[in-house]
Structure 1
Amino acid sequence: MQLHYREMGAGSPLVILHGLFGTADNWQTLARRWSERQRVILVDLRNHGRSPHTPEHTYELMSQDVLELFDSLQLTNVTLLGHSMGGKVAMRFALDHPEKLERLVVMDIAPRLSDMRHQDEILAGLNAVNLSTLQSRQEADDALARYIPQVDVRQFLLKNLYRRDDNSFAWRQNLTALTTNMSRIGAEIMDDQPFMKPTLFIRGGKSDYISPEDKLYGIPQLFPNSQVETIPDAGHWVHAEAPDRVFELVDAFARQSDSI
């Protein structure tokens, strides 16, 4: 699958994978800052943004998608960064193709299983928006608000809403596929062989996506050459809530030698 991507800057490559319901555009501000020092490639994962839509949505397939992008761009010695769902894609890719990476950055997600029940209201809200009769973005926001009280979450989701050439509305993400495959998005990342290269986990102090048990057991088993950095005042969208600190942590990590 040919994933949609955009790139900026020059030098050693930093590839960024967004989270569930996100797009490459969510990372533009930080990408511009990093691109002053290195080449940055922002990727739309399958069923998101401007990348192709398919009924299938698994980490094995998404890892293969990323491999095809790496091969088409002839990428080597890459720093791969993924947030949330994109972090699980990044972990799966690192375990599948360690030779392609120099180091790995995972943002606010652990390799463990998630039942994904925390997404129920978001899915209900998105599926409540009737695209066939929708007349305005405000109307879509009103439909979402019945399920999602947080204004910032609704604004994030509405970034996926766009007008087609015939002036009708559509979602950038493949809502049907994501709804159908939600349990697979929560799947555990497992492997017999750990990823031995330097790995940085960045977690929000107000988020529970990486637990104390994850730090002690789950993460070190698969990523023994790893460290976990906590940004105390940030939640799950740590890169949006603490962009300066995320910039500093990733920039410093990308410039380190091969050991932490």
Structure 2
Amino acid sequence: MKKLFFLIALSVMSLYAFDQPKVIRTKAFKVEIYGKGRPMILIPGLACSGEVWQAWVSRYQSEYECHVLTLGGFAGEASGETPFLEKVRLNLSEYIASQQLQNPIIVGHSLGGFLALSLAASEPEKAGSLIIVDAVPFVGALQDPSATAESLAPQAEMLRGMIVKQSKDQYTRQQAKVLASMISDTANIRRVLQWGLASDFKMIGQAMYEMMTTDLRDAMVRIEAPTIVLGSWIAMKPYGLNSEQVKVNYLQQYQYLKGVSVTMAPAAKHFIMLDDPQWLFAQVDAFLSQRSTAEGKK
């Protein structure tokens, strides 16, 4: 009986240990590592926790080693250094090298997608494949194709100032409205809102400012990694745009990225991984299978 109890306890402890990720901290982000297999790096968006990838990790950790980031200054993590984008990119490059990650699949949502593109354009050899979830090389040109980083600078500066100075009550009221346009489920809206409230407003403002004043469109030509872009169009429906029209805008943004595949989610809002995970996984599964077949033929 004692032996049986011991074996059961050992089994439970083993399961518990498997569920606990290895945690590594750099100057710019925290990493939680789940599973085993080919490395896959997951970067969340603005003011989000790496927990946003929870369903993704559950699906892929049996075949991939998932390195889940939470960026400094977001969701309770200590703030990192500025300039934000450059410091995160450099730390991510160093992390890939120090962990000896070979041809990692880099997955990024929104700001995380922008960071993935920035790394792959700066150091093409560091990215094996890219999976970009509703992100573009220059966010300012989505609504105004004539916009430039310079023309957006005053607006970006004003927005940064507003974000930094707001109270938590003001942030809650404003973000509740914004997130309702980005996420369908109220429970997920509350969860993402809490991550934002636990974030450093100064770092949120800085990250927004830098992304609005950084144009990566011409740099797309330097990316060598096979890339899939999964976009959302539904937020533009009230403005009279349909899926194909929004897709054209995305294709223009990525026109210099050779071989890129752009697909729009049928109805999911900006947080596609929360709104329609099954559709998202179907696209990702097909992409990963295609890449596995292509690499097997080399």
TM range (shorter): 0.7 to 0.9
Q: Does 1:219 align with 2:219?
A: no
Q: Does 1:91 align with 2:117?
A: yes
The secondary structure found in structure 1 opposite 2:94 is helix
CA RMSD in angstroms, aligned pairs only = 3.1
Q: Which residues in structure 2 correspond to 1:63-102 (within 5 Å)?
A: 63-102=89-128
- Structure 1 73/49 Cα, relative in aligned 2: closer, same or farther at 3 Å? farther
- In the TM superposition, residue 177 of structure 1 has moved relative to its aligned partner by 2.5
2:195 aligned partner, one-letter code: K
The 2-side partners of 1:84 and 1:91 are apart by 11
User: Which residue of structure 1 aligns with residue 33 of structure 2?
Assistant: 7
- In the TM superposition, residue 51 of structure 1 has moved relative to its aligned partner by 4.5
The 1-side partners of 2:113 and 2:202 are apart by 22
- In the TM superposition, residue 127 of structure 1 has moved relative to its aligned partner by 2.6
- Name the % identity: 20
- In the TM superposition, residue 47 of structure 1 has moved relative to its aligned partner by 2.2
TM-score, normalised on structure 2?
0.69
- In the TM superposition, residue 20 of structure 1 has moved relative to its aligned partner by 0.5
Please, which of 190, 203, 206 is the counterpart of residue 231 of structure 2? 203
Q: How many residues get paired?
A: 236
Q: Which residues in structure 2 correspond to 1:106-121 (within 5 Å)?
A: 106-114=132-140
- Find the structure with the greater CA-based Rg: 2
> CA contact under 8 A between 1:57 and 1:177: conserved in structure 2?
no
User: Which residue of structure 1 aligns with residue 22 of structure 2?
Assistant: none
- Structure 1 143/23 Cα, relative in aligned 2: closer, same or farther at 3 Å? closer
Please, which of 237, 249, 252 is the counterpart of residue 283 of structure 2? 249
1:45-82 per-position Cα deviation (integer Å, ceiling 9, x unaligned):
23224644135143222211211221221111111010
Please, which of 145, 167, 171 is the counterpart of residue 173 of structure 2? 145
> CA contact under 8 A between 1:125 and 1:147: conserved in structure 2?
no
Please, which of 193, 200, 215 is the counterpart of residue 157 of structure 1? 193
1:145-178 per-position Cα deviation (integer Å, ceiling 9, x unaligned):
36634455454121355xxxxxxxxx2x221132
> CA contact under 8 A between 2:119 and 2:126: conserved in structure 1?
no
The 2-side partners of 1:124 and 1:60 are apart by 21
> CA contact under 8 A between 2:39 and 2:105: conserved in structure 1?
yes
Please, which of 215, 223, 228 is the counterpart of residue 188 of structure 1? 215
The 2-side partners of 1:34 and 1:10 are apart by 9
The secondary structure found in structure 2 opposite 1:43 is strand
- Structure 1 2/56 Cα, relative in aligned 2: closer, same or farther at 3 Å? closer
User: Which residue of structure 2 aligns with residue 128 of structure 1?
Assistant: 167
Please, which of 2, 18, 21 is the counterpart of residue 47 of structure 2? 21
TM-score, normalised on structure 1?
0.78
Query: Structure 1: 5+ residue runs without aligned partners?
Result: 130-139, 162-170
Q: Which residues in structure 2 correspond to 1:232-243 (within 5 Å)?
A: 232-243=266-277
The 1-side partners of 2:44 and 2:90 are apart by 16
Return the structure number with greater helix share.
2
- In the TM superposition, residue 196 of structure 1 has moved relative to its aligned partner by 2.6
User: Which residue of structure 1 aligns with residue 239 of structure 2?
Assistant: none
The 1-side partners of 2:163 and 2:111 are apart by 19
1:197 aligned partner, one-letter code: A
Query: Structure 2: 5+ residue runs without aligned partners?
Result: 1-26, 141-151, 181-185, 237-244
User: Which residue of structure 2 aligns with residue 136 of structure 1?
Assistant: none
> CA contact under 8 A between 1:19 and 1:86: conserved in structure 2?
yes
Which deviates further from its counterpart, 40-49 or 184-193? Answer: 184-193
